[in-house]
Amino acid sequence: MTESTNQFYLGDNLSVLREHIADESVDLIYLQLPFNSNATYKVFSKERSGEDSAAQITAFDDTWHWTIDSERAYQEVVTGGPDKLGKLLQAMREFLGQHDMMA
């Protein structure tokens, strides 16, 4: 685990927190909206002339799905996280069911 301050990390928040951030050391996590927009966001580039290029690269898919990774993260929090958080997630899952929104 690397120790640093005033760093910007771009990536999956759970992976970044587990690999780079010491426990109980976070002051702020900024998450950019929208969430679960069911859209694919792309990066557009420009030609040397300054005109928009037809080339585009997929930046990320903002579509949530309940997967084995989602289930693993859920179980990790319910069984090993703070008790109140585990109970909250269990109540949400009871209410929503195993729905992609739970992801």
CA dihedral 17, 82, 28, 94 (to 10 degrees): 90
Query: What is the chain's mean pLDDT, rounded?
Result: 79
Q: Work out how many domains the chain is built from and give that number.
A: 3
d(CA 75, CA 102): 12
Detail the DSSP E strand segments found in 21-69: 39-46, 52-62
Give the whole-angstrom CA distance, residue 18 versus residue 77.
13
* pLDDT at 82 (0 to 100): 92
pTM, full prediction: 0.52
d(CA 86, CA 66): 18
Read off the pLDDT of residues 17-67 as tens digits, 9 standing for 90 and up.
888 888 888 777 776 666 667 777 776 667 777 776 766 666 667 777 888
What is the domain extent for residue 89?
64-103
Do 46 and 79 reside in the same domain of the chain? Answer: no
Let me know whether 49 and 71 are in one domain: no
pLDDT over 70 at 3, yes or no? no
Q: What is the mean pLDDT of residues 72-89?
A: 93
User: What does the pLDDT read at residue 95?
Assistant: 92
